[in-house]
Structure 1
Amino acid sequence: MLLVPAFMFARAGLLAGAWITITPESVEYGSGNGIVEKQGTKIEWARIASGQMARYDVRLILKGPVREPRIAFGYKMPDGTQNEYSLPMSLRERGMQCLWFVNADALRIALLQNMAARSNLCFDPDIFVEAGIDPETWHLMPKPRKIEWAIAIASMAAVLIFGSFISATTSVVLVVGGVFAILGLGLLATFSFRKRAYPGFDHVICFCENR
């Protein structure tokens, strides 16, 4: 897979509650006014570490009770130790007084391009699916969240409808089996949707530089 050359994206989103700056050297983001109060988290691309034992060096995790998608990776500290860091896919932490960046898609492309410039890193394909970015062209593609939420809501509605037919004499085995069958069909529908909508996104994604 060929890497589109990374570019400088120094001007990022600047809103009342959050800011983010992406350059070829690092990403820095935080809350407050990004010009006057330049305080936040800084991650240098050169310090992102390869996972020696893991399948992916950069992977997608779902964190917290709301299952917030984040980009996770190993990070080399100045003292030589390695910790796990993660970046919010939304580009701002939940505590920030900011709903979204107007240019969020462009920011995510710049973020992933600069990470991909580290050609020794292997990426979880779910990162690109969640971000809605094609790693071959760096163009936007449909995001799965809306369809998956619709499937989840339909599954819960089916469970409620099924529950309305349950009486005091209904077998517990039938009730439990029916609920699991409905939820299982929902998971199967989600899996089938992903396979059809994102063919080829089931393997490790690595990048190499153009020669």
Structure 2
Amino acid sequence: MTAPDIKISPITGPELIENLPALAALRIAVFREYPYLYDGDSKYEMRYLRTYSESPDSIIVLATDGDQVIGASTAVPMRHAPEEAREPFDGFGIDPDRVFYLGESVLYPQYRGRGIGSRFFEERERHAERIGGFDYYAFCAVERAQDDPRRPIDYRSLHAFWQRRGYDREPQLYTCFNWREIGEAQESSKPMVFWLKPVGANAASPAPESAD
């Protein structure tokens, strides 16, 4: 259950556009952590977040503690998603127009473990159901080697959490996104694998200890 002092707000339309700068700041801060190691800049953020400002059916789910934005999650119909996300579905036998794309979830570390991650999924899936016409929810996650020397000793993969939410990893459904990693002089290609969940499928019961 989400902590009572945290407010979760699904945002669409003009208000969504107003909150894109807060989302950009969160992405730059949180994605510096492993496994994304993102060395963010405003130019990349403006290019990437244009996806959500241009789609009438996109959503941002904001988590706030008082006046402070402490987390956010995004989603958009796959037909409006970046080409890197849409293209792999054509060769996988799934019509991308029938897929609702879950972009990212970013949350400051001190707020994790309070059920906010689960709420992010619930609100985005609920939004897709209101729109209608989708067969799958989908998101993609970066692939890192198990022996990556940058992997923190206390790092916990989110795979078990995603599986509890009803998502399955599809290793044959993959793509690449470009971003500049910490230590890189310029952007490079990063492998991403998709996770899918049929619309209407229920999430499994959460374990006592969750990563959300």
Whether the TM-score (by the shorter chain) exceeds 0.5 is no
Structure with the largest fraction of strand: 2
- Rg (Cα) greater in structure: 1
TM-score (norm 2): 0.30
TM-score (norm 1): 0.30
